């Protein structure tokens, strides 16, 4: 077997390693950019709005005063949960979409 080559791979392992390192740097840069991006979702016709970043951290939660009813706390809790969950889903979708553009659709663990 020729040094630096694998049968059936048709290329030099050093070149492949350089390409992988380049992709890793691009992924790290993209992750940093995604961490700064924000997504927003609302529930109850905009009564509760949640803002989440690419790190899936809740940044802001806005509650319209009209839905603050001491007699119906459960409804407000449900609206908050719905808005936060939808914002988290959107953040996950944003990250997955951007990463798949970089990886060409490869299903890499952790992304």
Residue 47 belongs to a domain with what CATH number? 3.30.1310.10
Label residue 32 exposed, middle or buried (CB < 10 Å: 0-12, 13-18, 19+).
exposed
pLDDT by residue (tens digit) across 72-91? 999 999 999 999 999 999 99
- pLDDT (tens digit per residue) in 51-70: 999 989 999 999 999 999 99
Residue ranges of alpha helices (H) inside the chain are 13-36, 73-103
Q: How confident is the model at residue 6 (pLDDT cuts 50, 70, 90)?
A: low
The CB density around residue 26, as the number of other CB atoms within 10 Å, is: 12
Average predicted confidence (pLDDT) for the chain: 85
Residue 1 has pLDDT above 60, yes or no: no
Residue 25 lies in a domain: no
Whether 108 is in a domain gets the answer no
- The answer to whether position 2 is within a domain reads no
Task: State the pLDDT at residue 90.
Answer: 96
Q: Which residue has the tokens 């390192």?
A: 21
Residue 14 maps to a domain = no
Q: Provide the pLDDT confidence category of residue 20 given band limits of 50, 70 and 90.
A: confident
| Token pair recorded at residue 71 | 């007699």
Is residue 97 in a domain? yes
Print the domain residue range for 76.
37-103
- Could you tell me which residue, 13 or 109, shows the higher pLDDT? 13
pTM: 0.70
Residue 26 forms part of a structural domain: no
Contact 90, 45 (CB under 8 A): no
Domain count, the chain: 1
Asked whether the beta carbons of 79 and 43 are under 8 A apart, the reply is yes
Q: Give the whole-angstrom CA distance, residue 38 versus residue 94.
A: 9
């Amino acid at each position: 077997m020729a040094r630096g080559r694998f049968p059936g791979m048709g290329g030099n392992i050093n070149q492949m390693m350089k390409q992988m390192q380049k992709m890793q740097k691009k992924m790290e840069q993209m992750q940093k950019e995604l961490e700064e991006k924000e997504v927003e979702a609302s529930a109850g016709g905009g009564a509760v709005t949640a803002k989440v970043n690419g790190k899936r951290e809740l940044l802001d939660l806005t509650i319209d005063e009209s839905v603050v009813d001491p007699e119906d706390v459960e409804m407000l809790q449900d609206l908050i949960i719905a808005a936060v969950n939808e914002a988290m889903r959107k953040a996950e979708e944003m990250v997955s979409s951007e990463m798949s553009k970089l990886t060409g659709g490869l299903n890499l663990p952790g992304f």
